[in-house]
Amino acid sequence: MLHINTLLFIVITSFLLSCGQPSKDIHETRFMMGTLVRFTIVHPDKDIAKVAIRKAAQEMQRIEDIFTIYGNKPNSVKKFNRLPIHTPFTFPSEVNVLLETSVHIKKQSHGAFSPSLAALNKLWGFSNAEPPSTPPSPASIQNLLPGTQNCLQKQGKQWLRTSPNCQLDFGAIAKGYAIDRGIEVLKKYGIQHAMIDAGGDIRLLGKHGENDWRIGIRDPRHKDNVIATLSLHGDVSIVTSGDYERYFISHGQRYHHILNPKSGWPSYSSESTTVIASNATLADAWSTALFVLGKKGIKIAEKLPLQALIIDSNGQVYHTKGMPINLLTKP
C-alpha cells in the first residue's frame, strides 16, 4: 500500500511536470540580424518542427539580406543610399511595402520614427563590429542632421532622396518583418504553437502546451529582474526596445542606439518600451517610435489601437488601459 506522503509526492511531481517545461518543446537558436533568434515549437513530430525551423530561418536570413545596410552583399537599399540625389528609383515590391509602412508610421508618430537615419546611425556606430565608447562631435551631428530630415520624396511609384545624407535604415522595423515572415513559414508547415524571439522581438502562435506563453518585461536598470509578466496566446507579437542593450556610458552620461530624429542624439524620453500588436512589423516599429515619444506616446498607442508599456527616464511605468500585464513592482 502506498504511504500518503509517497502519494502526495507522486501527485506533486506530476503536477510540476505538467506545469513546467512541456515535454514536446523543440528549441533551436540561430544568430541572425545581429542577435540570437530563439525558435520554440510545440509539435508532436520533431522532424517536421526541425524542417520548419530551418526553412523559417532561411526566410528570415533572406529578409535580413534584402534590408541590411551593412556588409558587402549588394541590395536595393544600399543601392538607393548611394544613388545621385533626385534620381527616381523603383524598389522591389517587398522593400517598397516596408518603406510605405515606415513612412506611414513616421507620420503617425509625428516624426519619432524615421526610416532615413542611416547616415546618423552610422556616425554613432552602434551597429559596428567594434561598438563605440565616445559620442561623435556635436558639429558632426549638426552637419548630418538637416540632410536626414524630410528628405524622401515619392514620384509615382518611385522614390528619390533630396540630400546625400538621406539614407534608408530599416533597423527598427526589418527584424519584426523577418519574424513575421518566419512565422508564415512555420504556419505553412502546419505549426500551430510556436514562438520566435529575436532578442526581445517576439511573435507567438497558439499556446505553450496547456498554458499561455509567459513573457517577462525586464527592469531596464537591473537586467536580471523582471518588472512585469504577461500571459499571451493566439497569434500576437510583443516587442521591447530599450536603452540597455546597445549603449555606452561616457562622463556619466548614457548613450544608446535609439536616436531622436529631431536632434540626432539618443532619445532620453524612456528607458524601455514594450508594444503588443497583431504582427511583429508593427510592434517593432512602434516600440522604437514610442521609445522616442515617451509617456506621451501612450495616448497615440491607445488611438491606434496598440497595447503599450513605457518605462520613462525616471523609471516610472505607464501603460495603455488594455495592456494585459501583471506588474510585479508598483508603478
Binding test (CB under 6 A) with ligand ADP, winner from 39, 80, 91, 126: 126
Task: Say how far apart CA 126 and CA 130 lie, in whole Å.
Answer: 8
Q: Whole-number minimum distance, CB 330 to Mg ion, in Å?
A: 28
Check binding of 274 to ligand ADP (CB under 6 A).
no
Strands of the sheet with 325-327, listed across from one edge: 213-219, 222-232, 325-327
Check binding of 68 to ligand ADP (CB under 6 A).
no
Choose the binding region for ligand ADP from 4-12, 55-63, 203-211, 258-266 (rule: CB under 6 A). 258-266
Check binding of 169 to Mg ion (CB under 5 A).
no
- Pairing between strand 270-277 and 307-312? antiparallel
Check binding of 117 to ligand ADP (CB under 6 A).
yes
Check binding of 183 to Mg ion (CB under 5 A).
no
**Alpha helix segments (H runs only) across 156-251:** 174-188
Check binding of 258 to ligand ADP (CB under 6 A).
yes
The partner in contact with residue 259, picked from ligand ADP, Mg ion, none with C-beta cut-offs of 5 to 8 angstroms by kind, is: ligand ADP
- Cell of residue 173, nine digits: 522595423
Choose the binding region for Mg ion from 49-57, 88-96, 148-156, 276-284 (rule: CB under 5 A). 276-284
CB 115 within 8 A of CB 169: yes
Closer by beta carbon to ligand ADP, 113 or else 159: 113
CA 180 to chain centre: 11
CB 298 within 8 A of CB 114: no
Site residues for Mg ion, window 277-296 (CB under 5 A)? 284, 287-288
Closer by beta carbon to ligand ADP, 206 or else 242: 242
Nearest to 178 by CA among 151, 164, 197: 197
DSSP letter, residue 89: B
The DSSP H or E segment spanning 172 is none
Task: Say how far apart CA 287 and CA 98 lie, in whole Å.
Answer: 16
Check binding of 259 to ligand ADP (CB under 6 A).
yes
Binding test (CB under 6 A) with ligand ADP, winner from 53, 245, 282, 301: 245
Q: Whole-number minimum distance, CB 282 to ligand ADP, in Å?
A: 12
Site residues for ligand ADP, window 153-182 (CB under 6 A)? 169, 171-172, 175
- Pairing between strand 152-155 and 25-32? unpaired
Binding test (CB under 5 A) with Mg ion, winner from 66, 120, 166, 172: 172
Please enumerate in sequence order all residues whose Cβ is within 8 A of that of 120, keeping only pairs 6 or more positions apart, or say none.
Answer: 141, 144, 145, 148, 259, 264
Which one-letter amino acid corresponds to residue 207?
Answer: K
Query: Applying CB under 6 A, which residues contact ligand ADP?
Result: 113-114, 117, 121, 126-127, 169, 171-172, 175, 201, 241, 245, 257-259, 261, 284, 288, 292
Query: Applying CB under 5 A, which residues contact Mg ion?
Result: 172, 284, 287-288
